[in-house]
Structure 1
Amino acid sequence: MLAKIAKRWILFFVILAAFVGVFFLAGKFLNKKNTNEPEVLNSPILTAVLSPSSEISTPLPSKEDMVRTFCELIDGGRISDAVLMMDLKDDAGMQSWAVSLNNFSSFKSVNIKESKIDKTRNSFEVDIDVSLKKNLTDLPIPNYGWVEGINKRWINLKEVETGKYKIAWIATSP
């Protein structure tokens, strides 16, 4: 009989200890700051050294990087993402460009250099190695001047916001 009572008291204290442990750990985790940043970045001294504000900013891509990314998106078949990089006025223009850019099975920028003719430094002379989709190589109307192999194009950027650019047009000459 005494052994039975002792077992019940031991079981009671084990269950009580488990509850206390769970509540203790839950309280510890609930009081912890919910942040993905390391604690050292929350230091006021380090924050003041890194930037005048509490936000850490990421630099915008260079203009040349934008042209390169545009070509990579087309080459990767991400036509809708490439079209979103363009300064187009309406859905009809976006659809037209999407159809046109979907004609390529390969679209690789070989060489990108800033055009010497454009004083705004927003024009890039780009050599693009193109492969047209097989069902489009023998059409009676050329694919807007695109041919198999290296095509030289001028890709011009337009500043849409301070420091932010979109592709304004793609031309066969400056």
Structure 2
Amino acid sequence: MSAFSLTATTKKVFGRLAVLLMAAALLTTVFGACTPESIQTDANQTTAQPSDAGLTSLEAQKLAWSKAKGVFDDCVLFRMAPVESKDSTALKLSADWQTSDRSGAWFAWYADSNSGDWFMVSIVGKKIDKVDIGTRSFSAEAFDSALPKENTAVSMKDAASAAKAQGANMDVVTWVEFQCERFSGSAGRLPLWVFTCSDTLDSGVTLNYKIYVNAATGKVEGALNDRNEDMALPIDIEDLQKPRTENHEADLRKFFSFISQGEPVWAVRQLEHSLSPDEATAQMWLANFQSLKTLEVVSVEQTNLEQWTDQWESYKVVLNVTTDETPDKYGWENGENTRWITLVPQGAGDWKIASIGTSP
């Protein structure tokens, strides 16, 4: 076991690995978030505009289509966001956008089905500001007839209402856009309004998630957390903060029992793949576990409950250990040591250890 944190879903695995290999010691890294590439990932505060400063989402679509319909023989409204330009990260939503549906600016992308081109329209206020043709990252594609051309059946504000009805906090939206993307195993692209939320709870935990609303039907298709895992709907913050009676604490305790019973090889086998990706790393973990002469689990506490899913659990574990090694080698002190552990499923059987850290 080590004084550092690694996760299966982030890319910060074994920072400063060369030092680790030379010193046979494990250092601390931290894990971050994983977000889909197809949508904006920066946390952007909305820029409050007067409620009559711009167009509604449907008005903007109608205006943009008046320019787009004659450019390509066959195209769809592929993406649209309440921003001034294709590279903008500042939303121009009206202060009352949830009821007025308005934004001070809109930018729309139309995808040609017969080529790899975009037709792009920028709307500022209530007028078209610029139009342009560009090359997109994917080639010609026969788009489903269900994808919108002139307008979406569901407006931004109505999609927001549907998301709110499923527990999403629309007051903490950091990004919103319409996009045609595959979602949750769909056979083809779906027309989706996507709302990115960053909700700081009373507990101090920030819950980041995206909620997807079908722009053709108004149905909420689902929500993903910042590890790109499905969230249960409706989102119930109070319920999320309750301790889980169904959990995998037994797998966590089994991991520590292998160490305390002198079977460190089996403990190494309980590590998730990214935590022990090769033989050299496995040998470092083995040496780490073998350095512990005794180990006793003092307490186990569920942590970060708001972020638990069917694919992730988090625990605070207090251990009492004895070791002949100095703390700078493996991070262990004689006596009580606190570790934050995350678990994930991997294959059949026990859940695996995804990260081991000295801080949350």
Candidates 323, 329, 338, aligned match of 1:143: 329
Counterpart residue number, 1:75? 260
| 1:95 counterpart = 2:280 | no
Distance 1:118-1:108 versus aligned 2 partners, 3 A rule: farther
**Among the aligned pairs, what percent are the same residue?**
29
> 1:153 deviation in Å?
0.3
Distance 1:73-1:62 versus aligned 2 partners, 3 A rule: farther
Q: Indicate the structure with greater helix content.
A: 1
Distance in 2, Cα, partners of 1:118 & 1:168? 18
Distance in 2, Cα, partners of 1:163 & 1:82? 14
Distance 1:101-1:118 versus aligned 2 partners, 3 A rule: farther
Q: Tell me the number of residue pairs that the alignment of Structure 1 and Structure 2 aligns.
A: 109
> 1:97 deviation in Å?
0.2
> 1:144 deviation in Å?
2.9
> 1:67 deviation in Å?
1.1
Counterpart residue type for residue 128 of structure 1: L
Distance in 1, Cα, partners of 2:296 & 2:342? 17
* Mapping for residues 23-172 of structure 1, pairs under 5 Å: 62-87=247-272, 88-116=276-304, 119-120=307-308, 122-133=313-324, 136=325, 139=326, 142-161=328-347, 164-172=350-358
Q: Cα RMSD between the aligned structures?
A: 2.2
> 1:81 deviation in Å?
0.6
> 1:162 deviation in Å?
6.9
Structure 1, unpaired ranges of 5+ = 1-60
Structure 1, residues 58-92: CA drift from partner, whole Å, max 9, x if none?
xxx95101111111110111000110011121111
Q: Indicate the structure with greater strand content.
A: 2
> 1:116 deviation in Å?
3.1
Which has the higher Rg, Structure 1 or Structure 2?
1
Deviates more, 1:77-86 or 1:111-120: 111-120
User: TM-score under structure 2 normalisation?
Assistant: 0.28
Distance in 2, Cα, partners of 1:72 & 1:162? 20
Distance 1:173-1:118 versus aligned 2 partners, 3 A rule: farther
* Mapping for residues 15-26 of structure 1, pairs under 5 Å: none
Counterpart residue type for residue 109 of structure 1: V
Structure 1, residues 36-59: CA drift from partner, whole Å, max 9, x if none?
xxxxxxxxxxxxxxxxxxxxxxxx
Task: Classify the secondary structure of the residue corresponding to 1:161.
Answer: coil
> 1:145 deviation in Å?
2.3
Task: Classify the secondary structure of the residue corresponding to 1:77.
Answer: coil
Counterpart residue type for residue 90 of structure 1: D
Distance in 1, Cα, partners of 2:269 & 2:349? 17
Deviant stretches of 4+, over 6 Å: none
Counterpart residue type for residue 314 of structure 2: S
User: TM-score under structure 1 normalisation?
Assistant: 0.57
